[in-house]
Amino acid sequence: MNALDTATPRGDQRRTALLNALDALLQDSSFEAVNIAEISRRAGVTRSAFYFYFENKAAAVAALMEQMYDDTAAAAALLTGEGTPQERIEGTIRGLFASWDRNEHLCRATLEARASSAAVREMWDSDRESFVPVVASMIDAEREAGRAPDGVAATTLATVLLELNDRMLERSAIGGPLGREELVEGVVAVWLRTIYGRTS
């Protein structure tokens, strides 16, 4: 099916066309190199149409990143699924990294946009913080079941662990001294030690 469903209202079609154009451009160019005139030209709309839907280029990138939210939610759902603590946590972490792999160009663009746009930073933080109750609820349930020791407030631990994920995904996107498997292994170990007091 064409990316623009003929049943979609014309305004939604234009917005979708702009996002599709931006997504395609970011696969070959950096956030800084992409310009609004080229996005609009590729989408077949005017520059004024772009500004009708998005305040600026960063806002359009933020809209694209919102489409990754479902991937993150699916990964987080594994925390309360079947399996051992290590299997559940590792499945979640690997799911997050896999989502970033599929959308690497968007992740890099968002990191660039986040540095210069308060709106993108707020969206990024809001998305991350929306998962704090999910993780905190899992920690509380593990404690109530006697599988995890009591300690620091679950909400505090959840916030810190999600901040860790954020940082490790960023390192994965921009590069660093550790390879992918080392990052996954390290993050999983920190989650297990933090929640359960052990790494297995």
| Contact between 18 and 43 (Cβ < 8 Å) | yes
- What's the angle, vertex CA 100, arms to CA 99 and CA 101, rounded to 5? 90
Q: What is the pLDDT of residue 9?
A: 57
Quick count: other Cβ atoms within 10 Å of Cβ 62? 24
pLDDT tens digit at each of 200 positions of the chain? 334 443 445 658 999 999 999 999 998 888 889 999 999 999 999 999 999 999 999 889 888 887 777 888 888 999 988 999 999 999 999 999 888 888 888 888 888 888 888 878 888 888 889 999 999 999 999 999 999 999 999 999 999 999 999 898 888 877 788 888 999 999 999 999 999 998 77
User: What region, left, alpha or beta, does residue 145 occupy, with left being phi > 0 and alpha being psi -120 to 50 degrees?
Assistant: alpha
Alpha-carbon distance of 195 to 129, in angstroms, equals 18
Q: Considering the entire predicted model, what is its pTM?
A: 0.79
Helices (H), 67-131: 69-77, 85-102, 104-116, 118-129
166 closest CA partner among 142, 138, 187: 187
Q: Give pLDDT, residue 1.
A: 35
SS3 label, residue 30: coil
Both tokens of residue 35? 């310009």
Looking at residue 170, what is its pLDDT? 83
- Burial tier of 34 (Cβ tally within 10 Å: 0-12, 13-18, 19+): buried
Give the ranges where 117-177 is alpha helix by DSSP (H).
118-129, 132-144, 154-174
